[in-house]
Chain A
Amino acid sequence: MTTRTQSVTAQPRERLYLQLYIATTLAIFVLMMLAGVVMRAVQGTYIHMSPDWFYQIMTLHGAGMVGIAGLAGVSIMWYFLRRYVSLTPGLFLANLILFIIGVVMILGAILLGKFGGGWTFLYPLPAKSMGLWSHNAAAAYVGGLLVIGIGFLLFYLDVARALLAKYGSLGRALGVNQLISGRIDTDHPPTVVASTMVLIVNTIGTLAGAVILVLTLVNLYYPTMQIDALWAKNLIYFFGHVFINATIYMAVIAVYELLPKYTGRPWKVTRPFLAAWSASTLMVIIVYPHHLLMDMVMPDWMLVLGQVISYLSGIPVLLVTTYGALVQIHHAKVRWDTPAKFLILAVFGWAAGVVPAIIDGTIVVNQVMHNTLWVPGHFHFYLLLGMLPMVLGFLFHISRHENETTKDRSVGMGFWIFMVSALLFIFMFLYSGVMSVPRRWAEHLAAWIPYDQWAALFGLVVLLSMLFFTVKLLARLTHIRLEA
């Protein structure tokens, strides 16, 4: 059932597409980090910038980071999933092309059209800019998101085709039949399980996005068509929540596939593993109301659902992954090369980042903390120290020379600098949140500025270390192997 269906012989066309993905990913990650550091420097009064520009950069940073995390996740999922099922290279490329077209539209909307409504484009803000941007600029932003969504949908439908062709149903690919029958196939690939979960949740999320994005467009040009603002917010946060969560669930495939290469122990599918992924498939879909805990007009049962599922949602997959990673390294002769270090850091960042997220998912805390810098603190935690290290570990692994034995000391040092500076950068967010510093404010009170200044400095170090990794990885781009 789990025999590898594709030849591991490197195919130049697929390799080229992967290289294009990687170059795009690294370039946009660095640029978006630069935008992030600039925002913190503006708040810290190191740089002067008008609030209009601040909100444009904030929109760019938010949309850009979410998008590029998705693209990076797709490259990891595609890289490993193609070993088990037959994927279409043309659709992998089509996703990248549509992504770039969407990015150009979004850049035009923000930099030329001055759109600064935040990545959330919350209704009715796109249509009510008070003269700051035009309807056409808002439409270009919304249209760009739509184009990007279509690209991802093409990729996921190709994944669905391949999984259905091999396993007959997504339930079987997810391992639900094994859970029901009690006969666990330990050779069932974790990559297939994770990919199926991502396919299910992200297709539903993209569908929700496609509905609200088109209705936003309709409202832009036909203002008499007034959307229910609460419905709009629900759909936007459902779509956004699922999409950003799926980026981690795609990237974690790198942990399942690569960590065993450094520990010498296979990552086998177990009953708790399958149960965790099945449970998370449902919970990722229903947990999104925790983004709306401050909306007192939401039905009470949905808010309670948001809190309860917040406690439960991250735990299953996180637990099996963290436990699995610990089992991998416990008393094992681990080869602590750069990829292994990044992958273990990623599991730590993901696990630790969930803690402030769960705290914010508690209604009584959320009512005080949600509009503070605590929130960017928690999502930077599991994206900057969870998702990004998964991507870096993956990239450093697949770009290694086949017989590479010597360690690059500069990259090793870069790893520690990145880790420490990222931790400090994140702690400044969390500490600012504890000190009640509001988020999404272009200008801060004098008492808050020292936090911003420290954050800007730590952010600059993170940016420089990422720039260093980018240069190293781009130099190794020609070494990338599809069978690594």
Chain B
Amino acid sequence: MTDNFRQAMFVMLVPVIIISHHWLETSMTSHMAVQLPLLVFVGALFAGLLQTYSPRLVVFGQRYRISLLLYSLFTISLWMLPRLLDAALYQSSIAFLKWLSLPLAGISLVLCWRHLPFVLRGILHLELLATLLRLGWLYLIAPQRYCVSYGINDQQQLGHVLLGYAAVYGLFLASSVLLGGRRAN
């Protein structure tokens, strides 16, 4: 991804997320499966730009790679809890934390990613894939709704979407290792 493309994406996405936040939060599916990943993605784009203009960040990412990874994993895992989605709708402090912590998780992940060993990156890819499958399945079979703000149909729709994400992500991973292009370091 070139810097210009990254800049254009960033400039375009930030207002889109801000303007559409009410609409995205009306459904559990769009809240969890669209808004939250977009917030992480915006952070990731920003980190890519920062690294271009400040090479010292590369050294920072190398030095604090474990802390950065733990922060991003913890934050992303936390926001998978349905209860936090509810809280973000009704408590402004939690909503503020969402808008702050998720982009920071994206920034942290990008800063540490290239400094992680291949095997650890592989584990993270596979665990994310497995988590999408497990959560998707659980949301489909859960007998009651886990967010008071959203209905059970919405929850089941989220399950389907997460399974769809898993399928796309699995195909992406498979094609990248089977067809290659880049060599593992």
Contact = CB atoms under 8 A, between A and B. Distances in A.
A168 B181 contact: yes
A218 B183 CA distance: 38
Contact of A207 (B118, B129, B182): B129
Interface stretch (B21-29, B42-50, B137-145, B147-155): B137-145
Contacts of B180: 164, 167-172
Interface in B141-185: 141-144, 177-185
A361 to B, nearest CB: 27
A158 B119 contact: yes
Contacts of B118: 157, 160-161, 164
A171 B179 contact: yes
A158 B122 CA distance: 9
A300 interface: no
Contacts of B130: 207, 210-211, 214
B98 interface: no
Contact of B183 (A164, A207, A227): A164
Contacts of B17: none
A164 B183 CA distance: 5
B141 A227 contact: yes
**Residue from B142, B143, B180 with most neighbouring chain A CB atoms (10 Å):** B180
A225 interface: yes
Interface size class of A (residues with CB under 8 A): 20 to 34
Contacts of A172: 180
Contacts of B8: none
B126 interface: yes
Contacts of A214: 130, 134
Interface in B5-38: none
Given A161-B119, A211-B133, A153 B126 contact: yes
Interface in A214-259: 214-215, 218, 224-228, 231
B136 to A, nearest CB: 10
A224 B143 contact: yes
B1 interface: no
Contact of B185 (A91, A165, A200): A165
A210 B177 CA distance: 20
B176 to A, nearest CB: 9
B123 interface: yes
Interface string A134-169: 000000000000000000011001101110110111
Contacts of A161: 118-119, 122, 184
Contacts of B122: 157, 160-161
Contacts of A88: 119
A226 B184 contact: no
Contacts of A224: 143-144
A203 B183 CA distance: 19
Contacts of A207: 126, 129-130
A160 B133 CA distance: 23
B123 to A, nearest CB: 7
Contacts of A167: 180
A154 B123 CA distance: 8
B134 A169 contact: no
A165 B126 contact: no
Contacts of B119: 88, 91, 154, 157-158, 161
A53 B122 CA distance: 40
Contacts of B137: 211, 215, 227, 231
Contacts of A169: 177-181
A203 B126 contact: yes
Given A165-B184, A214-B134, A215-B137, A170 B126 contact: no
B183 A168 contact: yes
A168 B179 CA distance: 8
Interface in B104-126: 118-119, 122-123, 126
Nearest to A165: B184
B158 to A, nearest CB: 16
Contacts of B143: 224-226
A158 B118 CA distance: 8
A211 B177 CA distance: 21
B20 to A, nearest CB: 32
A210 B118 CA distance: 20
Contacts of A157: 118-119, 122-123
Contact of A160 (B177, B179, B181, B182): B177
A402 to B, nearest CB: 34
A266 to B, nearest CB: 28
16 contacts: A88-B119, A154-B123, A157-B123, A160-B184, A161-B122, A162-B184, A165-B184, A165-B185, A167-B180, A169-B181, A210-B126, A215-B137, A215-B138, A218-B138, A225-B142, A225-B143
Interface of B: 118-119, 122-123, 126, 129-130, 133-134, 137-138, 141-144, 177-185
Interface of A: 88, 91, 153-154, 157-158, 160-162, 164-165, 167-172, 200, 203, 207, 210-211, 214-215, 218, 224-228, 231
Closest 3 CB pairs of A and B: A169-B180, A164-B184, A157-B122
Given A157-B119, A170-B177, A224-B144, 6 more contacts: A164-B183, A168-B180, A210-B130, A211-B137, A225-B143, A228-B141
